[in-house]
Each structure stands twice: as structure tokens, then as C-alpha cells.
């Protein structure tokens, strides 16, 4: 088991997050939204943890907290043992380099005015990494790592000239260019066809293998989580209802909500060697 060999990369303890209702400014009766309630979970080094739940269950909120796009109201988040909410200066910069997020919608997450080269290069510029020539080499290597080769075929193109799957590869190359240790992938394939999704799953597994990246993989699709993840945490209305190995969660679900998710799952064929059935 991954956790037997490695310590935790990420530890969340007692995390809660409420969104103040915007409309309550005008309408006193509107309610705040409790997105996360007392979440505690660990992600071990080198593993892919799946966070699975229906739309609105709090998955994206958890992802955004982990990359510091959002702050928790309560609780602590540690990355390699270090509290992330009090990071300053150098430590914050290190955090921004070490932790990356891949977003759900590759049509919105890429700046349409930046060429592919500039898109992937941008994090290197923000963090002042490398000379001009070194930046170019890192961009090319990152593109090759996501299967966009020869890179020169793509460097001068713009996002609108690429397919959804290629755009998501660019987003992954951009996330990988700083060699992060931890990546949050928020439903990275939910806008894509199943065959393209499987190619991207294989790519994520390959990236984990080659670069030792730890992933939080967010999805509403249990079959996808089973294909990709070592362990799965099931989230319902902002609460984690069970956590276990991917096999155990699918074969021996302990919680009613997990059983309902399994029953509601549309048939999802991967067609790959080994994993070709629904569950």
C-alpha cells in the first residue's frame, strides 16, 4: 500500500467552509451555504486520492482550499507537515510552485489570447525560473511529457485551434512545468468524450509514475475514480461519509450514499486491458 511506504503529503483536519449568501445583503431570509463540514482526510505521498460525490457536494471547494484559492473558516491544512494558512514570503512562493490545480473546463481555464508556448511558460515567468533558453526547454519537455510532440507543432498555436482533449493536455503541461509535488485535478475530463477521457487518465497515471506526483482527483464518476485512484473519499453535502481503498469502496460500500452513487452510475466502459467492466 502506498500509505505504508510514504508519509502524508497533505493532511486536512476539521476543515469547514461556509459561503455567505450574496442575496442575504438584500434579502435577510436567504441562507448561507455550508460547503464543507468538519472534513478530515489525508493524502499520502505518491498516491491518487479520489474525491467522489454529486454536484454541489463541496468537491471543488475542497480543491480550491488545498491550492489556497480559498480560505477555510476552521481547521488546518498541512502540506508535508507544514500549516499552509500561515505561509509568508519565501514559504508561500515555494507553496505556489509545489501545488497546482487542473480545472474542469479547458475552454475557460486557458487564456484565449496566449499562444500555447506562452500559456505553458507563464508559471516560469511568474516564478522567475530559468533563462529564456531554459524556459523554452522546460516548456518543450512539459509538452512532450503530456504527449504533445513534436512540441514545435503546437507552440505557436492558440487554444481555439485545439480540441478539448488537447487543451486539457496544455493545462496539464502548464501545471507540470514547475514540477509540482501535489496536483488537484478537478473533474479534468467531465467536458470530454469517454475515449478522450481514458487517454487523459492514462496520461495522469503516467505522470504519477514518472514524476512521483501526488494527486487529488475530483470526480462525480465512481468508475473513473476506480480506474485511476488508489483510495477514494466519498463526499456528501460537505461531509466525507467514507474513505477506503478504491476496490473496497466499490465492492464493499459501507454507506448508503455510496451505494446510491454506485447504483446511479451509468455504464462506463474503459475497454482497456484488465478494466473493461462496469464495476
Ligand X SMILES: Nc1ncnc2c1ncn2[C@@H]1O[C@H](COP(=O)(O)OP(=O)(O)O)[C@@H](O)[C@H]1O
Q: How far is the CB of 220 from ligand X (least distance, A)?
A: 7
Residues 8-28 as b/e (b if ≥16 CB within 10 A, e otherwise) read bbbbbeebebbeeeeeeeeee
* Binding status of residue 33 toward ligand X by CB under 6 A: yes
**Complex with ligand X: residue 61 or 119, whichever CB lies closer:** 61
Distances (CA, A) of 245 to 153, 154, 168, 229: 41, 39, 27, 8
In the numeric block, the cell 509538452 is attached to: 143
Closer residue to ligand X, CB minimum distance, 190 or 199? 190
* Residues in 7-26 at the binding interface with ligand X, rule: CB under 6 A: 19
Please state, in angstroms and as integers, the Cα–Cα distance from residue 47 to each residue in 42, 96, 108, 146, 161, following that order. Answer: 11, 20, 28, 19, 34
Binding residues for ligand X, how many (CB under 6 A)?
11
- Shortest distance (Å) from residue 23 CB to Mg ion: 21
What's the closest the beta carbon of residue 62 comes to ligand X, in angstroms? 7
How far does CA 170 lie from the centroid of its chain? 15
Alpha-carbon separation of residue 124 from 102, 133, 177, 188 (angstroms): 17, 12, 7, 22
- Binding pattern for the stretch 40-79 against ligand X, x by CB under 6 A and - elsewhere: -------------x-xxxxxxx------------------
- Picked from ligand X, Mg ion, none, the partner binding residue 61 (CB below 5 to 8 A depending on kind) is ligand X
Choice between 105 and 242, CB closer to Mg ion: 105
State the Cα angle at 279 between 236 and 39, rounded to 5°. 20
Tell the smallest beta-carbon distance from residue 156 to ligand X (Å): 35
In whole angstroms, how close is the CB of 154 to ligand X at the nearest point?
Answer: 30
Out of 57, 60, 166, 236, the residue judged to bind Mg ion by CB under 5 A: 60
User: Interface residues with Mg ion (CB under 5 A)?
Assistant: 59-60
User: Interface residues with ligand X (CB under 6 A)?
Assistant: 19, 33, 35, 53, 55-61
Amino acid at each position: 500500500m502506498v500509505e505504508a511506504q510514504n508519509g502524508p503529503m497533505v493532511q486536512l483536519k476539521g476543515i469547514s467552509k461556509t459561503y455567505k449568501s450574496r442575496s442575504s445583503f438584500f434579502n435577510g431570509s436567504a441562507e448561507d451555504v455550508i460547503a464543507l463540514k468538519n472534513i478530515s482526510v489525508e493524502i499520502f505521498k505518491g498516491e491518487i486520492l479520489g474525491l467522489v460525490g454529486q454536484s454541489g457536494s463541496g468537491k471543488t471547494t475542497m480543491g480550491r482550499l488545498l491550492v489556497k484559492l480559498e480560505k477555510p473558516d476552521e481547521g488546518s491544512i498541512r502540506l508535508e507537515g507544514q500549516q499552509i494558512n500561515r505561509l509568508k514570503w519565501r514559504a508561500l512562493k515555494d507553496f505556489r510552485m509545489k501545488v497546482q490545480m487542473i480545472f474542469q473546463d479547458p475552454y475557460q481555464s486557458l487564456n484565449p489570447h496566449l499562444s500555447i508556448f506562452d500559456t505553458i511558460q507563464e508559471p516560469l515567468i511568474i516564478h522567475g525560473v530559468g533563462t529564456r533558453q531554459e524556459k523554452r526547454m522546460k516548456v518543450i519537455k512539459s509538452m512532450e511529457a503530456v504527449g504533445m510532440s513534436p512540441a514545435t507543432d503546437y507552440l505557436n498555436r492558440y487554444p481555439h485551434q485545439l480540441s478539448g482533449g488537447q487543451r486539457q493536455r496544455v493545462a496539464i503541461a502548464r501545471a507540470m512545468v514547475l514540477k509540482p509535488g501535489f496536483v488537484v485535478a478537478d473533474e479534468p475530463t467531465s467536458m470530454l468524450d469517454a475515449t478522450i477521457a481514458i487517454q487523459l487518465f492514462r496520461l495522469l497515471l503516467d505522470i504519477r509514475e514518472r514524476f512521483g506526483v501526488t494527486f487529488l482527483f475530483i470526480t462525480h464518476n465512481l468508475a473513473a475514480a476506480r480506474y485511476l485512484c488508489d483510495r477514494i473519499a466519498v463526499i456528501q453535502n460537505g461531509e466525507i461519509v467514507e474513505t477506503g481503498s478504491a476496490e473496497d469502496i466499490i465492492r464493499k460500500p459501507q454507506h448508503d450514499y455510496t451505494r446510491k452513487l454506485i447504483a446511479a452510475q451509468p455504464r462506463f466502459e474503459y475497454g482497456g486491458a484488465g478494466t473493461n467492466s462496469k464495476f
